[in-house]
Amino acid sequence: MSAQSDVERLAAENAALQTRIQALTKENSRLKAPQTSPPLPDPSPLTAFTQVESLNNPEIARYSRQLLLPEVGVQGQLSLRNASVLVVGAGGLGSPCILYLAAMGVGKIGVIDHDTVEISNLQRQVIHSESRAGLSKARSARLAVHELNSDCHCIAYDLVFDYTVALSVAAEYDVVVDATDNVPTRYLVNDTCVLLGKPLVSASALKLDGQLTVYNYAGGPCYRCLFPVPPPPETVTNCSDGGVLGVVPGILGTLQALEVVKILTGVKAKEAPTLLLFSAFSSPTFRSIKIRGKQAHCAVCGTQPTITELQDYVAFCGSQPTDGPVHLNLLPAGDRITCADYHTLRQTGQPHLLVDVREPVQYDICRLPGSLHVPWRDFAQRVPDILAAREAVSHQPIYIICRLGNDSQEAVLHLRERGVVDAKDIVGGLLEWHQSVDPTFPAY
Ligand SMILES: Nc1ncnc2c1ncn2[C@@H]1O[C@H](COP(=O)(O)OP(=O)(O)OP(=O)(O)O)[C@@H](O)[C@H]1O
Ligand SMILES: [Zn+2]
């Protein structure tokens, strides 16, 4: 072979090698790239839930510690096995409730929640996990149930429990647990249970306190018998505003699971209706109060009910069934400044006074440098301090900030009433500051 053809052959081989090296380099960088975690397995589709007449050997072994209790025994365990429970809300209360119901051997559990798992949920919503952040809470709960007790027939409804679905979903279950956090849903769940004749195990938890009651059971009252009129929306606080100690809904949700067991085993029917109050840092921690019975004039369970079908609960309660941030518009746009414009103002060094009106616990979490701290609850008394501080910056404008941009508007209105005209609130507060100006600023 000639030297010329050798050169051509080598050049061709070289080109082929170059192509191969490029392909390998590409493959290598693909392998080195961060791997996205494989999709989580969803438990395989379930067969229909069927009732049984006796426990099988694996069930006897699994539930032996409960079977040994005379209060439960084989009959009690069979009652759990053949029962179905709907848990509305897979949050702080729903998490332990669902887990214990599944662990104790309730045959069928429905979980309805429209929300997705967030990292800030995990401090109390122990049915979820970091690896399931972003997943629907209902599906995440179902995965956890499947891991804990694969015999449990768990159905996840990734839906809002509203009047369009309430009756058809709840009709499939023996007992309903209200583990939600808002007033419209509380009335909706109650009316659904009354219309369907289902017992309702209801609880709430906020800050360090909680309460629990069983409604519409054994001739007892319903929620409307006790609370015929919803509270004014502005008096209702939720966990994202007021905070909650993780274990508090944990305790109340666990007690909800206990009440379900008492209903299913028939023990509850002998008890008078009570309201259980829990206060984590008080003594006594628990108090049980006898509550009035069923009210003849109750709009839904009374002798002549006016509510015979589900209604518009948002209109009835005057509030949305959401616990997301509520942004009020109390001031005209001209009396407000956006975070972006306030940011520019700070960057260009324009003299001004920044007043932060959040609670001290929130001010301790984070703050913008140079702010004067005057909590909204002390604001009226401390206006002279604000005016004195403003003198120190040569009577320049006042900007007021809070967490969401609601109290800051109230503060501006208050200053207007006191004759201070050049005060503005910062729209959306520090949460908006985090979202639109500085992602490194803490969000809470
Ligand atoms: N009408 C409804 N239908 C379905 N789920 C609901 C309804 N109302 C409330 N929920 C759910 O009930 C749960 C209440 O739990 P909790 O208050 O602990 O959680 P959260 O709303 O995630 O809390 P946070 O306020 O910290 O975000 C939430 O997961 C919420 O999505
Ligand atoms: Zn009633």
- 152-194 pLDDT, tens per residue? 999 999 999 999 999 999 999 999 999 999 999 999 999 999 9
CB-CB contact of 87 with 145 (8 Å): no
| Closest C-alpha residue for ligand 1 atom 20 | 91
Pocket test for ligand 1, best of 87, 98, 113, 316 (most atoms within 8 A of CB): 113
pLDDT in tens, 82-103: 999 999 999 999 999 999 999 9
In angstroms, the CA 94 to CA 381 distance is 43
pLDDT at 36: 46
Whether 122 has a binding-site annotation, put simply, is yes
CB-CB contact of 433 with 404 (8 Å): no
Q: Which residues of 142-160 are buried (b: 16+ CB within 10 A; e: fewer)?
A: bbbbbebbeebbbbbbbeb
Residue 376, pLDDT above cutoff 50:
yes
Residue 48, pLDDT above cutoff 70:
yes
pTM across the whole model: 0.83
Burial class (CB in 10 A: 0-12, 13-18, 19+), 72: buried
Residue 211, pLDDT above cutoff 80:
yes
Please give the C-alpha separations between residue 161 and each of 25, 86, 172, in angstroms, as whole numbers: 52, 11, 14
DSSP labels for 243-308?
-B-THHHHHHHHHHHHHHHHHHTT-GGGSPPEEEEEETTSSSSEEEEE-----TT-TTTSSS-S--
pLDDT at 238: 81
Helix (H, G, I), strand (E, B) or coil at 116: strand
| Closest C-alpha residue for ligand 1 atom 5 | 113
- Residue 222 Cα to ligand 2 midpoint, Å, equals 4
| Closest C-alpha residue for ligand 1 atom 30 | 89
CB-CB contact of 193 with 224 (8 Å): no
| Closest C-alpha residue for ligand 1 atom 17 | 181
In angstroms, the CA 203 to CA 4 distance is 89
DSSP labels for 50-98?
---SS--HHHHHHTHHHHTSTTTHHHHHHHHHT-EEEEE--STTHHHHH
**What is the pLDDT averaged over residues 409-414?**
96
Spatial neighbors of 426 by CB under 8 A, at least 6 apart, are: 336, 337, 338, 339, 342, 399, 400, 401, 405, 408, 432, 433
ipTM above 0.90, yes or no: yes
Both tokens of 316, joined, read 């009835």
For strand 209-215 and strand 200-206, is the pairing parallel, antiparallel, or unpaired? Answer: antiparallel
CATH fold of 333-437 = Oxidized Rhodanese; domain 1 (3.40.250)
Length of the chain: 444
**What is the pLDDT averaged over residues 381-408?**
93
- Residue 297 Cα to ligand 2 midpoint, Å, equals 8
Residue 284, pLDDT above cutoff 60:
yes
pLDDT at 291: 95
Nearest residue to 79 (alpha-carbon basis) of 218, 156, 175, 147? 175
Query: Which atom of ligand 1 lies closest to the CA of 240?
Result: 25
How many Cα atoms within 13 Å fall on the side-chain side of residue 82? 13
CATH fold of 83-317 = Rossmann fold (3.40.50)
Spatial neighbors of 61 by CB under 8 A, at least 6 apart, are: none
pLDDT at 392: 85
Whole-number average pLDDT of the chain: 91
What is the four-CA torsion angle of 359, 362, 363, 366, rounded to 10 degrees? Answer: -160
Measure the CA angle with vertex 379, ends 378 and 384; round to 5°. Answer: 110
Q: Where are the domains of the chain?
A: 83-317, 333-437
Both tokens of 111, joined, read 């979980």
- As a whole-number percent, the residues of the chain with pLDDT over 90 amount to 81
Query: Which atom of ligand 1 lies closest to the CA of 92?
Result: 18
Whether 121 has a binding-site annotation, put simply, is yes
Q: Which residue has the higher pLDDT, 261 or 269?
A: 261
User: Which ligand has the shortest distance to the CA of 111?
Assistant: 1
pLDDT at 393: 81
pLDDT at 321: 67
Both tokens of 179, joined, read 């583990």
Residue 390 has phi, psi (to 5 degrees) of -70, -35
pLDDT in tens, 219-251: 999 999 999 999 887 777 788 888 999 999 999
pLDDT in tens, 358-370: 999 999 999 999 9
